[in-house]
Every structure is written in structure tokens, then in C-alpha cells.
Amino acid sequence: MKITKETAKNIGIDLIYDIVGAISYGAGLLMFVQPNQIAMTGAAGVAVLINYVTGFPIGIGSFLVNVPLLILAFLFLGRQFTVKTLITTAIFSFMVDIIKPFVPTYTKDPILACLFGAVLIGFGVVLIYMRRSTSGGTDIVCRLVQLRFPYMSMGKLTAIVNSVIIISAMILYRSLESGLYALVVVVAQSFVIDAILYGADKGKLVYIISDHAKDISKAIISEVNRGCTLLNATGAFTEQQRQVAMCVVRTQQFFKLKEIIMKIDPKAFIIVTDSNDIIGQGFKAIDKTR
């Protein structure tokens, strides 16, 4: 199969993201999490426990933990997913062991270790996610289990698998604090991932049901500098026809929007939902989502 220039470019970008992501993840793990005996999740968490008991290198250990999972993934989840995950996993395992001698350790304050470890690990995960890959481990296990139990969500399955790893770490470390600190890392890491992936493009989707929807939409356009769409709606109880104004604003613009609505129609019915990713004019450019 002939490799096109575009394909070669994408492969190169994938490798760069995987390498930088692995370095960031590994630095957070080796500098902050492991030295403080904070329980870690995923295949890396299992590898850290193996290292604690036997001294076996974390990188190689993480790869060996992933090998049987990758075989199952190839059989049940498909070749493309498995190959991409294998490459990311191999790079991660290699880079973690390569950088270990050069990474200092921090053990003064476990809370600071949790927070800074979460930032570095979260950043590494984001880089991998951005190239539509995965570091294996928990993700593969959850996908495989979901084939048998499709009604179980990825969120619940991930929580179950990670809980088993964290509890195992607490037993090995003989420390309740190890598990509690792990929760801090998990929560902080999720905030970091969401902030980087969606933070710049988060907003509020607002529906305004009002007899003055047209006036409100004009005020939104002129004062908030945001577009607005008027939807024709019919009340189910009254069967009355009316218009509903729909608009999307950045989070920091919402309070100004609410003031405008209340000023024009204090009786307006407002529905507000969070929007994690907004694509289009005034927000994220369409070509950046490819």
C-alpha cells in the first residue's frame, strides 16, 4: 500500500504527540505520584505496584500488562484500534524507563504532589486523546467488558476497574491515605483534561421562551454580540403558537445575557445547559476539529 504525503504527515504528528504525551505522563508519575506512594490507575498503576513489590521497571511492566489486553483487543475490537494503541503503549513504556534516571522526585507535600502530578499526567493523556489514541490498560478492559455487558457505561466500568487497582495499592502500601490521595489525583486529572480539551470552547446553550423573543434576540445580537435563532413552537397545554429564542454564549457572557432577558421580559422562561464543545463562527473553527 502506497503511503501518501498526508498519511506520512499524520503518522509523524501522531508520533510527536505520543512521545511528548508519554514524557509528560511519565514525569508526573515518576516525579510526584510514585515517590509518595499514591495509588495510580490503569496499566501504569498495576506496573507501579509490580515495581513496588519486585523492582521491575515501570515502563516494561506497563507494556507487559498491556500485551494480553492488546491480543484480546485485536480479536474483538479490531485491527486499527489495536495497532494505534500498541504504538502508543510501546512509546509510553519506552519513554517512562528512558526518562526515569533524569526525573527528580518530590516528597515534601503529598497534596502538592497530587495536584502537580495530575496536571502533568492529565496533559499527557490529552495529547494522546487529541490524536484519537489510547494508552491501553483500563480503556481496553472496559471496551471488552462492554461487549458482554453493553448496558454498562464506560464511566461506570472505568470507575470499577480503577477502584480495584486503587484498593490493591492501599493493601500493598498499607495506607488508607494512598487511596484518598489517588482520588485527589483522579479528580484533578479529569479537571485538567476537560479544561484543555473543552475549556476554551465551553459555553452555555440557552433557550428563552417569551412573548418578546424577537426583542430579546435583537438585544442579544447587538449587546452580547452573539447570534440568535428564533424557533417556532407550540405550547402543549395552551396550544398557543410562540417563538423561542435559542443562542450559545461563552460562560462569562451568560450573566450579561440573563440581565438583558430579565430587563426585557421578567416573566421569560429560560432553559440553560452546559455546552462542552462549540464549533462554528465565534467559537472553534471547523477545520481545527479534524
Q: Per residue in 54-63, pLDDT tens?
A: 999 999 999 9
Strand order from edge to edge, sheet including 203-209: 229-234, 241-250, 203-209, 269-275
Give the model's confidence band at 9: pLDDT under 50 very low, under 70 low, under 90 confident, else very high: confident
pLDDT surpasses 90 at 98: yes
Residue 136: what pLDDT? 85
Task: Tell me how far apart the alpha carbons of residues 258 and 23 are, in angstroms, rounded to a whole number.
Answer: 44
Task: Tell me how far apart the alpha carbons of residues 10 and 36 are, in angstroms, rounded to a whole number.
Answer: 38
Indicate yes or no: pTM above 0.85: no
Residue 216: what pLDDT? 94
Measure the CA angle with vertex 120, ends 119 and 122; round to 5°: 65
**How do the domains of the chain map onto residue ranges?**
5-199, 202-289
Residue 93: what pLDDT? 94
At 61 the three-state DSSP class reads: helix
* Cα dihedral sign, 123-127-129-133: negative
Domain 202-289 has what CATH class? alpha beta
pLDDT surpasses 60 at 290: no
Percent of the chain with pLDDT over 90: 59
Closest by alpha carbon to 106, among 201, 36, 165?
A: 36
